[in-house]
Amino acid sequence: MTTQQSAAAGSLAGVRVLELSNSIGQWCGKLMADFGADVVKIEPPAGVAERQIGPFYKDVEDPNRSLYFWHYNTSKKSVTLDLTQEEGRELFRRLARTADVILETMPPGALAALGLGYESLAAENPGLIMCSLTDFGQEGPWAGYQMTDMLHLAAGGQMAACGYDEVDDPERRPIAPGGGNGYHMGAHYAYIATMAALYYRSVSGEGQHLDVSAHDSAALTTEMHVPNWIYTHQVVQRQTGRHAGVRPTAPSQIPTGDGRYVNMGGGLSSSFRAFVEVMAEAGQAGDLEDFKYLDPEVMQANTDHIRGQIAAFVKTVPAEVSFVAAQEIAGMPWGVVRAPDDLLEDVHFRERGFFIDVEHPELGETFTYPGAGAVFSATPQNIYRRAPLIGEDNADVLGSVGIDAARLAQLRAAGVV
């Protein structure tokens, strides 16, 4: 798939979003923009701090070359405004009159202190929806605490669940998984809340203020761990490459003949018999061909033995071989542990149009980006443009609220834009 020219084909076409966001909310804004919303990112004149975060294009540090910024800001526009100056705030107010949604991640109260709080902006635009996505929400004993991606994974329960068996790490240290997922969780909830508010506005005409907490969101994202505690007062312990357990479970992430790993996820079902035939062809079926294992009770009673035998076979063959056999022949829900490096070659996801080629005209290059989780039959998610250069859309966007070229030059000279 390649980028399209116009976001008019997207699900959120016609929705204008002002994004005043740091690392907490940029993923939410990206989803909106890739779904076709007109997302205008408001940045300070020097650009947002995220532009200083690596890795950088060819490892050359520059605010327009941050791959971190590129990834999280596709399809957005950039307008620079110095909100510490009254003229900057006035321009923000003008833009806010044209907005359906303001997505903001400032510390609680900071926007109101600038005279840009929800009440004052909504007075001029009653349908306005403001989504304030912050570390802890607008109030509460931790609302002023400083957070990072990893600290959310500590607070939210993710680190308590990820780590190693004692054999792999005697300390059984908690591990913070990577990829920036501490902030992804809050962004997903903020997106859903904002869409719900847009729907409600379509029915009632009313806008509203949404107070979304990244910490609450993370705390909701450990599957059964919280209900486990509430209903049975059990707490899980970390294990290598599989679910943390209230009691130890057998390994399911098995090293393979080619130095990788296969996750033999899921329990044991009778379909494992089909896989035994593959093992038998290699002369490695052990005793698993014994008819006694056809009896579901015998099978269940010998689960560890059977899985152990299967694992012994998995250790001798390449990961993709046992994975494909498990899936194609036995319908078992296994997965190869892939590195990000392995994904680009995946024919299935290529055919689904997952990878999107994005043009960077200022560099004369086109790069492949990850695309959409879902294929939409009518209004596909897309990447309409690479992330904006600092202030790239000042003339267009500010022009639409009455700032002509001469005025823009004055504002630029005054450091407002």
Partner 1 sequence: MTRPLEGLRVVDFTWVRAGPWAARWLALLGADVIKVEWPDPAIGGSTGRVVRDVPGMGSTPDGIPRSMNSDGHFNDMHAMKRSVTMNLRSPLGLDLAKKLISQADIVIENFSAGVLKSWGLSFPEMQALKPDIIYVSMAGYGHTGPRAHFQTMGPSVQALSGLTYISGVPDKPPAGWGWSYMDDTGGMYGAIGAMTALQHRTRTGEGQHVDLSQVAAAMTLLGPALIDLTVNGRGSRREGFPPGDRSVWPGTPKVNNYRGPICAPHNSYRALGGGHNDWVAIVCQTDAQWQKLKQAMGNPAWADARFDTLDGRLDHQEEMDEHIQAWAEHTEKYALTDMLQTAGVPAMAVQSSEDRVEHDPQLRARGMYEEASHPILGSWPIQHAPWQMSKTPTPVDRGAPICGEHNIEILCGMLGLTRDEVREGYANNTLWPKSVPVEPYLIEALETEKVG
| CA 17 distance to own-chain centroid | 19
Binding segment toward partner 1, per CB under 8 A, in 83-91, 279-287, 333-341, 402-410: 333-341
Considering the complex, state which of residue 63 and residue 369 has its C-beta at the smaller distance from partner 1.
369
Q: Give least dist CB 323 to partner 1, A.
A: 9
State the DSSP H helix or E strand holding residue 280, giving kind and residue range, or none if neither: helix 272-281
Q: Give least dist CB 313 to partner 1, A.
A: 18
- Interface with partner 1 includes 13 (CB under 8 A)? yes
By the 8 A CB rule, do 156 and 148 touch? no
Residues 258-297 that bind partner 1 (CB under 8 A): 261-263, 265-266
By the 8 A CB rule, do 341 and 260 touch? no
Torsion angles phi and psi, residue 121, rounded to 5: -70, -35
Torsion angles phi and psi, residue 204, rounded to 5: -105, -20
- Interface with partner 1 includes 89 (CB under 8 A)? no
Residues 173-212 that bind partner 1 (CB under 8 A): 173-182, 184-186, 188-193, 195-200, 202-204, 206-212
Binding segment toward partner 1, per CB under 8 A, in 106-114, 289-297, 345-353, 392-400: 345-353
- Interface with partner 1 includes 362 (CB under 8 A)? no
Of positions 110, 164, 286, 320, contacts partner 1 by CB under 8 A: 164
Cα 306 to Cα 12, 312, 320, 321, 330, distances in angstroms? 51, 10, 21, 19, 15
Stretch 14-43: interaction string toward partner 1, x if CB under 8 A: xx-------x-------x---x--------
Of positions 2, 327, 400, 410, contacts partner 1 by CB under 8 A: 327
Measured in residues, the chain has a length of: 417
- Interface with partner 1 includes 55 (CB under 8 A)? yes
- Interface with partner 1 includes 147 (CB under 8 A)? yes
Considering the complex, state which of residue 107 and residue 265 has its C-beta at the smaller distance from partner 1.
265
Residues 220-249 that bind partner 1 (CB under 8 A): 220-244, 246-247
- Interface with partner 1 includes 334 (CB under 8 A)? yes
State the DSSP H helix or E strand holding residue 37, giving kind and residue range, or none if neither: none
Whole-number Å distance between alpha carbons of 241 and 254: 9
Considering the complex, state which of residue 74 and residue 394 has its C-beta at the smaller distance from partner 1.
74
* Residue spans of beta strands (DSSP E) within 33-92: 38-43, 77-80
- Interface with partner 1 includes 378 (CB under 8 A)? yes
By the 8 A CB rule, do 325 and 257 touch? no
Residues 93-112 that bind partner 1 (CB under 8 A): none
Structure tokens at 191: 């997106």
Q: Provide the greatest CA pair distance for the chain.
A: 87
- Interface with partner 1 includes 347 (CB under 8 A)? yes
Q: To which residue do tokens 């904002």 refer?
A: 194
What is the sign of the dihedral through the CA atoms of 146, 151, 154 and 158? positive
Considering the complex, state which of residue 271 and residue 316 has its C-beta at the smaller distance from partner 1.
271
